[in-house]
Amino acid sequence: MDAFVLLGSFFVLMIIGVPVAYSLGLASLIGALWIDIPLDAVMIQLAAGVNKFSLLAIPFFVLAGAIMAEGGMARRLVAFAGVLVGFIRGGLSLVNILASTFFGAISGSSVADTASVGTVLIPEMEKRGYPRSFAAAVTVSGSVQAILIPPSHNAVLYSLAAGGTVSIAALFMAGVLPGLLMGLTLAALCLFIARKNDYPKGEVIPLRQALKICGEAMWGLMTMVIILGGILSGVFTANESASIAVLWAFFVTMFVYRDYRWRDLPKLVHRTVKTVTVVMILIGFAACFGYLMTLMQIPLKVTEFFTSVSDNKYVILMMINVMLLVLGTLMDMSPLILICTPILLPVVKMLGVDPVHFGMIMMVNLGIGLITPPVGTVLFVGSAVAKLKIGVVTKAMMPFFTALIIVLVMVTYLPWLSLWLPRLLGL
């Protein structure tokens, strides 16, 4: 009954239109009153939830991504991807996927990826003879890579939700191979569709122009080297790498590219602060909600339920995948990570699943949720950028959903994809 009161009040509040963060907070208060614990205890958990040093990485990564997205870096990365693969039949779709790979490795945000790459490539693809709906579908599905490829601030959230027991550096490295696998799978699908529909080839860029494009793009690509190289070499932590990324992004945008106006910078910082404020409120209330779930022994009960259905690890992982895919269509990624991780992590640990591997399973699952109606944030952004109805883009994305599900199955049942690189690096 305790679990029913807590979870039931949360879903009722969401259904009547209360924002997710406040639904978590109000449901926590209702749950605390129901089991008769002091509200002071809930407030202590709220403060403790946001009073974590590791959370400093989130605002810095968000700000770095915002500076890069609006400072001309996306356009240069698109041009660089065009040098590499733009001359192939259907090459602009491959450019789109590759540009998302590069930009995701810099911004760590699918929304920023879709908005930046889509603004450049969707009109260009339509101009070259690609259907606008296909261009939007490629952009939206390709941006899911940003969830996996480091630096992903969702990996920081997962580490937090796991109680800080999972290394952020290990999660960053664990996302590299699944992220590249996703990009290659989507690229193969684009090649198949391009050949089937006889989409146009691009032109080979002259050497002199190609060298200029590569030189300009290298300033942006250096961000990856700074972030990952610094963490792996032990020169600085994830938090410090995020702050260094902001300084580098600011330097490149304002002094090298010089495409961004100084007077627009305060507005960009203001938008970043608003985004981070929402995330921090969500984290604080999720900490309260998790505290109540622990007191009510909900993770234990969920574990007992799964093990009563089957004792086969692969069957239980399939059930968890189906559940997360369904939840991902109804809620945004961040709250689901914060809510589901404390519930599901004990289940998979008991089955012998590595927490880093499970983190990648969650990332792929909930990344698919970001592009799936009715609550697909990235899908909404892609549709708005393409100026198309959500139903039109969703229909065009059906083959891409299939490709992403194949990637999910591979990440779930081939743990070495997630664990090989962190173990190689001793993380």
User: Which pLDDT score, from 0 to 100, does residue 321 have?
Assistant: 92
Asked whether the beta carbons of 310 and 50 are under 8 A apart, the reply is no
In whole angstroms, what is the distance from residue 63 CA to residue 60 CA? 5
Asked whether the beta carbons of 400 and 185 are under 8 A apart, the reply is no
**Average pLDDT of the chain, as a whole number:** 84
- Tell the residue number behind the tokens 């927490």, with chain if given: 355
Q: Which of 65, 108, 21 is nearest to 334 (CA)?
A: 21
User: Which pLDDT score, from 0 to 100, does residue 420 have?
Assistant: 94
Q: Which of 128-142, 230-244, 315-329 has the lowest mean pLDDT?
A: 230-244
Q: Which of 145, 155, 148 is nearest to 57 (CA)?
A: 155
**Could you read off the pLDDT of 178-188 as tens digits, one per residue?**
999 999 999 99
Find the domain containing 348 and state its range: 2-424
The pLDDT-based confidence of 255 (bands split at 50, 70, 90) is confident
**Could you read off the pLDDT of 74-93 as tens digits, one per residue?**
778 777 887 777 677 778 88
**pTM (2 decimals)?**
0.84
Q: How many helices (H) and strands (E) does the chain have?
A: 23, 0
The pLDDT-based confidence of 98 (bands split at 50, 70, 90) is confident
User: Which pLDDT score, from 0 to 100, does residue 70 have?
Assistant: 73
**Could you read off the pLDDT of 308-331 as tens digits, one per residue?**
888 888 999 999 999 898 888 877
Which residues are bridge partners to 89 per DSSP? 201
The pLDDT-based confidence of 141 (bands split at 50, 70, 90) is very high
* Tokens standing for residue 348: 């998979």
User: Which pLDDT score, from 0 to 100, does residue 407 have?
Assistant: 95
Long-range own/partner contacts, residues 162-165 (CB < 8 A, 24 or more apart):
162/341, 162/342, 162/345, 162/355, 162/359, 163/342, 164/52, 164/54, 165/355
Which residues are bridge partners to 201 per DSSP? 89
In whole angstroms, what is the distance from residue 269 CA to residue 62 CA? 10
Residue range 295-302: mean pLDDT, rounded:
78
Number of domains within the chain = 1
Give whole-number Cα distances, 104 to 65, 113, 120, 183, 255, in Å: 9, 6, 15, 11, 23
User: Other CB atoms closer than 10 Å to residue 32's CB: what's the count?
Assistant: 22
**Eight-class DSSP state of 254:** I
How open is the CA angle 359-363-365, to the nearest 5 degrees?
Answer: 115
**Could you read off the pLDDT of 358-404 as tens digits, one per residue?**
999 999 998 998 888 877 788 888 888 888 888 889 899 999 999 99
In whole angstroms, what is the distance from residue 71 CA to residue 66 CA? 8
In whole angstroms, what is the distance from residue 289 CA to residue 9 CA? 12
In whole angstroms, what is the distance from residue 330 CA to residue 369 CA? 8
Q: Which of 7-16, 73-82, 127-136, 139-148 has the lowest mean pLDDT?
A: 73-82
CB burial readout 251-285, b (16+ within 10 A) else e: ebbbeebeebeeeebeebeeebeebbeebbbbbbb
The phi, psi pair for 277, rounded to 5°, reads -60, -45
User: Which pLDDT score, from 0 to 100, does residue 358 have?
Assistant: 95
Enumerate residues 6+ apart whose C-beta is below 8 A from 264. 70
